[in-house]
Chain A
Amino acid sequence: MRRLVVFLLVVGLIGPLGQTVAQERGVTPEEVVIGTSMPLSGPAAYWGAVGRGMEAYARYLNEQGGIHGRRLRVVVRDDGYLPPRAAANVRELVERVGVFAIVSLIGSANAFAVRDYLVRNQVLWITPTADATMWYGFRQKRYLFVTYPSYVEEARILVEYAAERLGVHTVAVFYQNDLYGQKGLLGAKQGAHRARIRIVAQVPYEVTAADVSTEAVKLRESRAEAVLLYATPRHGALIVREMAKVGYAPRLLSSFTLADPIMFTLAGEAWNNVISTGFFPLPGTGDARVDQALGILTRMDPALRANPHNALAGWAFLEPLVEALRRAGRELTKERVVSALESLRNWDGEVIRGVTFGPDRRQGIHRIFLTRAEGGRYVRISDWIPYPVRF
C-alpha cells in the first residue's frame, strides 16, 4: 500500500512536469497563438489596420481548416504607438497569454524597446515592422526573421533616383521625429552623398502635431527641388497641402508607408506624380494573386476596404510564419519552425515575394521597386531594385 502511495505521488509530481517541458508555449492540439502589438489608438492608429489584416487572414486560414488541424489565433494589443506600452504588451503576450510567436509590432522605436526582452527570452519574432538597419551587426538573432525593408536603403534609393532620373540637385526631408523618420533622413543623407547632391533642409514634426503650416514655410525657404516625406498619411497630406498653399511645388518623394490610396482623398490632385516604393505587388496593378488576397481580406472584414495596403501588409507579415508552420508539420516546436523558415529560398507567398532565409541569414527580403502616383492609383515604374543583404 505504501509503495502504491509513493508511486502515485511520484507520478502526480513528475507527470505534469514532463508534460510542461514537452509542450511548446502557445501551441495546443487545437490552436497556435500569435501575438502582436500596434497602434489601434493615438495619432498612428491608421496603421493599426495591419493587425486587422492579420486577423482576417487568420480567420480565412481557419475557415480552410487551419494548419495541420490547428487554428491560428491572433492576439492584437494596442500600444498607441508608444514604446513603453509596446514593451508592456509584449511582456503580457509572452508571459500571460503565452504566445508561440510575435508577428510584426509596428514602429521602429517600439521594436527597439522590446528587442532585448524578446531576444533574452528567445521568443520567435517574425517581421518586426521597423527599420531593418536595426539588425545590422546584431548577433543574437536566432529567433528573428525579417521581411520588412530598410528605411535607410529606401530613402537612399529614392534620393539617388531623384538625382539621376529627375535631375534634382537639392532635396529637403520632412520627417517624423522618431526612429522611423530619422532613419529616412539618414538614408536621404547617404543617397545625397552618393549622388553628389545636397540635403538643404531637415524639417521634423512630432507625430501628435496638428498644424504643420510653419514647417511648410521652412521647406519653401530651403528652395529644395524635391521634398522627401517620412510621415504618417495624415501629416504627409497636410504638408503637401500647406506647401501648395504657400506656393511651393517641389517634386515629391515618399516612403512606401505613404503609398496608400487614402492619400488621393486627403491630399487630392497634389498627390499625383509622387514617387514612392513598394515591397510587395500593389493591388490593382495586374497581380492576380495580390488582388485575390485583398478580395479574401475584405470578404473576411469589409472595413478593410478603406485601408487595402495596410490590410495586405498584415497578410504579408504573417505569411512566412504560416508557410513555416505548414513545413514544420504536426509535431510543432519552435526549433522546427526555425528550421522551416531557414529552408525558405526565394519563396513567393500570395503577397510577399522572394523571401530567402538561411542559418546565417535573417534578412528575408532585399529589394524594393519604385511607384508613381497617377490619378488615384500607384503605377509601378521600375523593376526590383536590390540592396545589400546585411544580416
Chain B
Amino acid sequence: MTLLLQYIANGLAAGSLYALVALGIVLLYRSSRVLNFAHGDLSSMGVFLALSALAAGWPYPLAVAAGLGSSGLLAMAFYRIFLRPVRGGTLLGSVIATLAFALVLSGLQVWGWGTQTRVFPFPLSESRVVRWGGVAASERTLGTLGIGILLVAGLSVFVQRSRWGLAMRAVAQDPEAAQLVGVPAARVLAATWALSGVLGACAGVLLAPAVFVDPFMMLDPFLKGFAAAVLGGMESLPGAVVGGFGLGVLESLFAGYVSVRFKTTLAFGVIVAALLIRPEGLLGRPFQRRV
C-alpha cells in the first residue's frame, strides 16, 4: 500500500508539471487552432533568461518574473511578426512556422548559454524530505505541486471570470463573430500567445530545479504535455489538467507495476488510444459538423 501511495505521489508531482505544459498548449490551440511546437523552447528560454538575471544579482522573484515575462513577450512577438501578417495562410503553414521558431530558439539557447547542464535554484529544499508513513516527497516537490495547482486555479478563474478571459473564449469559439461584436480579436490572440508563453515558462521554472537546465530540458515535458492535452481534450482547459495529472499517475503506476522499460512509450500509447477511443479527449466535446 505504501508503495502504491509513493507511486501515486510521484505521479502527481510529475503530472502537475505536465498539466501546466498542457494548459499552455490547449489555451493556444482552442483560440487559434495552432499547435505550437515552440512551446517547450519558449519555456526553456524563460528559464535561461531567469538564470541569467539571477547570475546578474537580481532578486529571485524579480529574476523569475523577468524570465516569465520574456517568454510571454517572445511568444506575442512571434505571433505579431510572423503569424498575424499571414493570417490568410494555411493552418499547416502556421504550425510549420512554430516549428521553425522552436529551432531558432533552441539554436539561440545553445549559442548563448552552451549545452552544459546547470542547476536552477529554488527557495525550497530538494534534500529536505517530508514523510507520511512510508511516502516521501521533498519540500521542493510539494512546493512545485502547490504552485502548479494554484496556477491552474488562477488560470481557470481568469478564463472563466475576467473580461479578457471571456474575450478569449469568444475568439476561440468564433473569431469573426467576436470581432463583429467589438472584441479586438487580434489583440486577444496576441494576449493568448503571451499568456501561453508565460504558462510554458512557469512550467519550465518549476521543472528546472527538478530536472536541471539545458537547452533541451523541455523535450520530454513538452511531449508529455501534448499527450496530456490529447488525453484531456485539446479544447478543454479542465481536460488539460485532468490529462496532466492522469498521465503522470498512469505513467508512474505503469513503470512501477508493469514495465519501467516502456514508461516513456506510454505517452505515445495514450495519444493513439485517446484518438482511437475518444478523439475529443476525456473532457472535450464530441466533434460535430453541421451538414
Contact of B260 among A40, A208, A214, A244 (CB under 8 A): A214
Q: Is A234 an interface residue (CB 8 A)?
A: yes
Q: Is A306 an interface residue (CB 8 A)?
A: yes
Chain A residues with CB under 8 A of B212: 234, 237-238, 266
Contact of A41 among B14, B106, B117 (CB under 8 A): B106
Interface-lining segment among A42-50, A118-126, A274-282, A324-332: A42-50
**Residue interface mask B218-230, A partner, CB < 8 A = 1:** 0111011000000
Q: Is B7 an interface residue (CB 8 A)?
A: yes
Contact between chains at A46 and B115 (CB < 8 Å) = yes
Q: Is B214 an interface residue (CB 8 A)?
A: yes
Q: How distant is A51 from chain B, measured CB to nearest CB, in Å? A: 11
CB-CB nearest in chain A for B131? A247
CB-CB under 8 A for A217 and B256, given A40-B110, A246-B6: yes
Contact of B216 among A41, A213, A246, A266 (CB under 8 A): A41
**Residue interface mask B239-268, A partner, CB < 8 A = 1:** 000000000000110011000110110000
**Residue interface mask B259-289, A partner, CB < 8 A = 1:** 0110110000000000000000000000000
Among A211, A233, A238: residue with most chain B CB under 10 A: A211
Contact between chains at A303 and B114 (CB < 8 Å) = yes
Q: Bound complex: CA of A257 vs CA of B162, how far in Å?
A: 53
Q: Bound complex: CA of A177 vs CA of B117, how far in Å?
A: 21
CB-CB under 8 A for A210 and B207, given A218-B255, A262-B116, A303-B114: yes
Contact between chains at B256 and A210 (CB < 8 Å) = no
From residue 188 to 202 of chain B, which have CB atoms closer than 8 A to chain A? none
From residue 252 to 269 of chain A, which have CB atoms closer than 8 A to chain B? 262, 265-266, 268
Q: Is A221 an interface residue (CB 8 A)?
A: yes
Q: How distant is B256 from chain A, measured CB to nearest CB, in Å? A: 5
Q: Is A241 an interface residue (CB 8 A)?
A: yes
**Residue interface mask A157-180, B partner, CB < 8 A = 1:** 000000000000000000001000
Q: How distant is A335 from chain B, measured CB to nearest CB, in Å? A: 38
CB-CB under 8 A for A213 and B110, given A245-B138, A262-B117: no
Chain B residues with CB under 8 A of A237: 117, 212
Chain A residues with CB under 8 A of B219: 42-43, 208, 210
Chain B residues with CB under 8 A of A205: 260, 263
Main DSSP-derived SS at the B contact region: helix
Q: Is A206 an interface residue (CB 8 A)?
A: yes
**Residue interface mask A292-324, B partner, CB < 8 A = 1:** 000000000001001100000000000000000
Q: Is A83 an interface residue (CB 8 A)?
A: no
Contact between chains at A208 and B115 (CB < 8 Å) = no
Contact between chains at B216 and A43 (CB < 8 Å) = yes
Q: Is B90 an interface residue (CB 8 A)?
A: no
Chain B residues with CB under 8 A of A266: 117, 119, 212
CB-CB under 8 A for A204 and B211, given A210-B221, A213-B13, A262-B116: no
16 examples of A-B residue contacts, CB within 8 angstroms: A40-B110, A41-B106, A41-B215, A42-B216, A48-B115, A206-B263, A208-B264, A210-B221, A213-B10, A214-B251, A217-B10, A237-B212, A238-B211, A238-B212, A245-B141, A247-B129
On B, residues with C-beta under 8 Å from A are 3, 6-7, 10-11, 13-14, 106, 110, 114-117, 119, 126-127, 129, 136-138, 141, 207, 210-212, 214-217, 219-221, 223-224, 251-252, 255-256, 260-261, 263-264
On A, residues with C-beta under 8 Å from B are 40-43, 45-46, 48-49, 177, 203-206, 208-211, 213-215, 217-218, 221, 233-234, 237-238, 241, 244-247, 262, 265-266, 268, 303, 306-307
